[in-house]
Amino acid sequence: MLGILRQKVGAGSSSAMILGQRICPAASGLRGFASSAKEMTVRDALNSALDEEMSADPKVFLMGEEVGEYQGAYKITKGLLDKYGPDRVLDTPITEAGFTGIGVGAAYYGLRPVIEFMTFNFSMQAIDHIINSAAKSNYMSAGQINVPIVFRGPNGAAAGVGAQHSQCYAAWYAACPGLKVLTPYSSEDARGLLKAAIRDPDPVVFLENELLYGESFPVSAEVLDSSFCLPIGKAKIEREGKDVTITAFSKMVGYSLQAAEILAKEGISAEVINLRSIRPLDRKTINDSVRKTNRLVTVEEGFPQHGVGAEICASVVEDSFGYLDAPVERISGADVPMPYAANLERLAVPQVEDIVRAAKRACYKSSSLAASA
């Protein structure tokens, strides 16, 4: 693998031709979805985005453990090795530090690597390359070096995988200048944000959720178009409301929407914001919503201390304090390593009823959960 990249980088040809010498012919960027298709899984959305971007740009290539022959640990890269060949879909040894460093070096030379971590917990082995090499090089070179690389894979809690495979890294990476951090929820998010990440000139940390891969979401013809792309740094209001603002990202968006349904039955109109982007954070959409509802509940799976919710609360207190009619509420994972036992694991991550209770507290309503029974 290292020899292949060394040959390509040392060839002296243009970036577009470095990979073009040895790749399989690319098919059209448009996939053959039937015009009547109305739903798509997150897994297929990610796969189609990778396929279309690899087809459109020969500088895009994939690298990671089991991304090729095994077609991805979660089948996100299914079919791509057969289509684009082993020079653009590279299986690696179990050495995150090694293949991440190679990817960053390839990005220095104008290629567009997409690095897959089997779980973002394993990105700790490569964090020096992500933070010190990828994130800081543009600034330290006075803008002379761009690092167009995507680090993607499942993030946060799955089910029964213990403390070392369940951590959310949104707050970790969002604390670092030079990185962009994206957190898709739906199939629309997955397609549009991954395409934006691959096209971006800067390093992007793309935090997926393993439990969402098999979930299906409605998609429009616009979303299925190969030119579809979502803006980085822009949140989406998934449900409009007037009584309380609920911010969430990734899997917690679904929980928040379920909570909003329960709250509606009790006369509370909740506005649910899908953050989509953690860095940059869409502070305007959040603050505009709080100035309308006068209440805020933040929801995340990560640890409470120094979390994404803490940053959102600080932003609202700084910019919209005079509009608040109640203390802000933070819902997060428990401040403990993830338990392995299923009953304790459920207690350690936010549940729909936790969001309902917090919204009711913010609205000074009874905390009865009769409507959710």
* Angle, helices 308-320/283-293, rounded to nearest 10 degrees: 60
> Catalytic one among 53, 96, 300, 311?
96
Q: What percent helix, strand, coil does the chain show, rounded to 5?
A: 40, 15, 45
- H/E stretch holding 317: helix 308-320
How, if at all, do strands 277-279 and 180-182 pair? antiparallel
- Amino acid identity, position 324: L
SS3 category, 124: helix
| Known catalytic membership, residue 96 | yes
In sequence order, the β-bridge partners of residue 223 are none
* Angle, helices 96-108/2-9, rounded to nearest 10 degrees: 10
In sequence order, the β-bridge partners of residue 205 are 151, 181
> Catalytic one among 165, 210, 238, 271?
165
Quote the strand ranges of the chain, DSSP E: 39-41, 60-64, 89-91, 112-116, 150-154, 180-182, 204-208, 216-218, 236-239, 244-248, 270-274, 277-279, 296-299, 329-331
| Known catalytic membership, residue 306 | no
- Amino acid identity, position 165: H
Q: Which residues are catalytic?
A: 96, 165
